[in-house]
Amino acid sequence: MATNVKERDADPALAERLRLEVERAFQRSLKGFELLGAPPPTVGRTPKTVLHRRGTLELVHYHAVADEVYRIPLLIVMAPTNKGYILDLAPGQSLIEFLLQRGYDVYMIDWHAPAPHERDLKIDNYVLDFIPDCIRRVQQDSGEEDINLIGYCAGGMLSVIYQSLHADGPVRNLACFTTPIDFSKMELFRSMAGEKAFDVDAFVEKNGIVPADVVASGFEALRPASRIASQIKLWDNLWNDQFVKGFRMMERWGNETLPLPGGYFRQTTRELLRGNALYEGTLRIGGRPVDLGNITVPLLHVVAQYDHIVPPACAAPLVQRVGSADKEEVVLPGGHVSIAAGPNAVKRMWPKLDAWLEERSV
Amino acid sequence: MASSLFLDPLQLWREAVNKLENDVNALATGSMKSQEVARSLQQFSTVSLGMQQVLEKAIEAYLRRANLPSRKELEAVAETLQRIEHKIDQLLPAEAVPVPRPARTRRPQGAAPAAAAAPAPAPAPRPARTRGRSTTRRAGKP
């Protein structure tokens, strides 16, 4: 015992560490109980007005906070698999709040769970109906003809398809985050969706709407150990209020993964994952071929270096294929979600997006 | 904090958890590339989904017999109520929820002084609801 005391005296860092660990263990017990009865974390608190709601579609306008805003409004297109509040988690962790404070007029296309009658919605409906409809509404609401379009993940893919089919439309600039183009590089999704492994027609016929659990488990299958590991990390960090808050918001977002219309799911599986039609140039929407070369507006593509859902190789062809003279791909350290939300996004992606947009928004 | 003479077992444990997570993910990723594994997983998923649907149907049948609404029905009612509330909100006078409409005259902070000194364009007028759907490019734009 005397030796231990001597060692501790000789090693103040050890004594400090022991004190810290005892304190954290105590905090873990207390906060663990608090967590059991805690209500779901509040997210998406930036004031907004719902401009339009139609089935799965919702168009919102965030209230401006700057005294004057840039002329061209921003329209963000969220991926149909997830809720848009990932870009508006909490004050200080919100891309929306950041953009508003930087003087942009921000609109967002967010999605709800599709109703049973929307089971047959296809990519065609999203890019020939939903996005053009919302653009018209943004034009009406803002009084501006020009629009800057921003798409995240599959929202980026929809925006790219829309723009290639409406090259002479009102979109002045296009920014995409982690947008898949070459689906042959999504090896795991392709493997799961292979014809021998999965009868997509029978599945869609049977289910109509693809349940959220199936969509979420598809994402989880890419990193099967991460859910358990994240629970262990949560326990380890229970003493840390900031960590717990961030974890719970992300957990809520993951748990609120959206179901998908069967038609959209079937088209994505057959034409994009199996046929790689967007990359090959064989995708036809509304009977018209989707040619990325038709896109001539300035383009920014933000790619996540460690993205396990849309690997950089899958996203890279966007900048290579478009016909824009002004185009830029930025590969930033981060994963599929942390590229847009989280401390790294605050430091890296948001300032980059702002720097790119500001001179193109007047 | 000064560095300790002793290894931190908790830090070692954290590193082990991270390594294990990465290794298991890498192993699973490798396995998933095999068509057999993918097929087995899909079959498992299909069976699991089928069982879930059977269970849901049984519960729904029981609730119907007991004259009780299912969770899905309650969620549908809540969704409908939300839509009605939203439509009522839309019918309320616009003054009830004032939405800020700042001028669209902002310039980038790093803009050249000459550009900053140039007269700012007038704020865009609020369009009438009957506005046309023209999406013509502005002259002089690339």
Residue A74 within a domain: yes
User: For residue A215, which residues of chain B lie inside 8 Å, CB to CB?
Assistant: none
Taking the Cβ of residue B15 and every Cβ of chain A, the question of whether any pair is shorter than 8 Å is answered with: no
Which range, A305-314, B1-10, B83-92, has the best average confidence (pLDDT)? A305-314
Taking the Cβ of residue B65 and every Cβ of chain A, the question of whether any pair is shorter than 8 Å is answered with: no
Closest CA of chain B from A331, distance in Å: 22
Q: Round to whole Å and give the CA distance between A97 and A247.
A: 20
**A307 Cβ neighbours under 8 A, 6+ residues apart:** A178, A315, A334, A335, A336, A339
- Give the ipTM of the model, two decimals please: 0.74
Q: Would the CB atoms of A53 and B86 count as touching at under 8 Å?
A: yes
User: For residue A56, which residues of chain B lie inside 8 Å, CB to CB?
Assistant: none
Closest CA of chain B from A280, distance in Å: 22
pLDDT in tens, chain A (362 residues): 444 545 545 567 778 888 888 888 888 888 888 887 788 888 999 999 989 989 899 999 999 999 999 999 999 999 999 999 999 999 999 999 999 999 999 999 999 999 889 999 999 999 999 999 999 999 999 999 999 999 999 999 999 999 999 999 999 999 999 999 999 999 888 888 888 778 899 999 988 999 998 899 888 888 888 888 888 988 888 888 889 988 989 888 888 999 999 999 999 999 999 999 999 999 999 999 999 999 999 999 999 999 999 999 999 999 999 999 999 999 999 999 999 998 889 999 999 999 999 999 99
Residue A22 within a domain: no
Of B21, B105, B142, the CB nearest to A68: B105
User: Domain range for residue A178?
Assistant: 48-358
Of A12, A69, A203, the CB nearest to B106: A69
Question: Burial code of A14-45, b = ≥16 C-beta within 10 A, e = fewer?
Answer: beebeeeeeebeeebeebeeeeeeeeebebbe
CA nearest B10 in A: which residue? A21
Residue A258 within a domain: yes
Q: Answer whether A292's CB lies under 8 Å from A164's CB.
A: yes
Instruction: Count Cβ atoms below 10 Å from residue A291 Cβ, excluding itself.
Output: 15
Taking the Cβ of residue B113 and every Cβ of chain A, the question of whether any pair is shorter than 8 Å is answered with: no
- What is the model's pLDDT at position B125? 40
Q: How far is CA B34 from CA A309, B37, B41, B42, in A?
A: 18, 5, 11, 12
Residue A35 within a domain: no
Q: Would the CB atoms of A70 and B17 count as touching at under 8 Å?
A: no
- Structural domain tally of chain A? 1
Q: Round to whole Å and give the CA distance between A13 and A29.
A: 24
Q: Where are the alpha helices (DSSP H) in A11-108?
A: 12-36, 95-101
Of A53, A64, A143, the CB nearest to B126: A143
Closest CA of chain B from A136, distance in Å: 7
Residue A107 within a domain: yes
Interface test mutation site (partner A, options B1, B7, B39, B42, max chain A beta carbons within 10 A): B42
Question: Burial code of A228-256, b = ≥16 C-beta within 10 A, e = fewer?
Answer: ebbeebbebbbbbeeebebbbbbbbbbeb
DSSP 3-state assignment of A297?
coil
Instruction: Count Cβ atoms below 10 Å from residue A283 Cβ, excluding itself.
Output: 21
CATH for A116: 3.40.50.1820
Any idea where the domains of chain B sit in the sequence? 9-96
Residue A19 within a domain: no
pTM here? 0.81
Residue that the structure tokens 């995708």 belong to: A283
Q: Round to whole Å and give the CA distance between A22 and A36.
A: 22
A312-A315-A317 Cα angle (round to 5): 115
- What is the model's pLDDT at position B28? 81
Q: Round to whole Å and give the CA distance between A331 and A311.
A: 11
Residue A7 within a domain: no
Q: Round to whole Å and give the CA distance between A212 and B38.
A: 20
- What is the model's pLDDT at position A357? 97
Residue that the structure tokens 């769970």 belong to: A113
Of B8, B14, B131, the CB nearest to A140: B131
Taking the Cβ of residue B125 and every Cβ of chain A, the question of whether any pair is shorter than 8 Å is answered with: yes
DSSP class of A94: B
Instruction: Count Cβ atoms below 10 Å from residue B68 Cβ, excluding itself.
Output: 10
